[in-house]
Homo-oligomer: A and B are copies of this chain.
């Protein structure tokens, strides 16, 4: 007979795997009644938590899973490269899955990687992910998880991030310092934390510098496969809505390059009429005309760091050491290029 799993106990009682795991470990946030139920059932089914964990964990597969929203993407390609480089050093293989920004797909992929018994999982969340049960369940079953770039603050695991809010503040402040008087923002989708934080940084920079925040100047762009076209469309819409905007902080370079293309088509000069700052420092931003000012985001380093955190957790578990979650914040920097070289005015 196969050993019973946490999942079976959870399904039998119609509660989450996380709750079962917490109940067995006597966490204070689970009711006494639930704890009693879980423990009785575990005993009846002869559930052996330690043996189970050891069974799973000592049988190392030396593979880890990586779930990212999009492979054909300058930033994520660099992250993948960093992860593979570091994993190889430690003798690990990397299984890569692409969530296509879909929550449903992401959930399935977590299950799939768990069933393959990978030693750990690295994830950058899909834009569509607003619920995190699949991730909490995974961790409740003793699989190490590290989030990077697109993370959820409320999930309790190690993370590698940049300070999106601070970086967006810097980008917007740079437009103000370049003499822009009315600054729009092309933001990412509503859910992901990084698009929220970049929006908040933009807003903060405005109000800190005596600018009124005007929600009609904020355009939402889907930063997926279609981002280039989204940039074009938002630029077109902006020109119809407002004739006084002279600066835009844009959520990601590819959207910014779409906007640049539309402005060029309509005879709007960048930076003379409208200055632009992007985000992420895609390679092409340095070769288009005008070259694009942007925020440099260290993809390769982010990948390396994420693997290092995961590896540390895998090792700690193996040696039965306490697990300490850590959030590493990597530095970003403003790259000044032609798209903001306007009045050469520094405040």
Contact = CB atoms under 8 A, between A and B. Distances in A.
A287 B257 contact: yes
A5 interface: no
B63 A71 contact: no
A45 interface: no
B80 A96 contact: yes
A116 B60 CA distance: 12
A233 B289 CA distance: 20
A204 interface: no
Contact of A80 (B71, B113, B284): B71
B96 A84 contact: yes
A84 B98 contact: yes
A190 interface: no
A174 to B, nearest CB: 23
Interface in A80-111: 80-81, 84-85, 88, 93-98
Contacts of A94: 95-97
Nearest to A62: B116
Interface in A260-307: 260-261, 283-284, 287-289
A36 to B, nearest CB: 40
Contact of A63 (B85, B95, B228, B261): B95
Contact of A81 (B71, B78, B84, B287): B71
Contacts of A228: 283, 287
A77 interface: yes
15 contacts: A63-B95, A72-B74, A72-B80, A72-B81, A77-B77, A81-B98, A84-B97, A84-B98, A85-B98, A93-B113, A93-B116, A261-B287, A284-B288, A287-B288, A288-B289
Interface of A: 63, 71-74, 77-78, 80-81, 84-85, 88, 93-98, 112-113, 116, 228, 257, 260-261, 283-284, 287-289
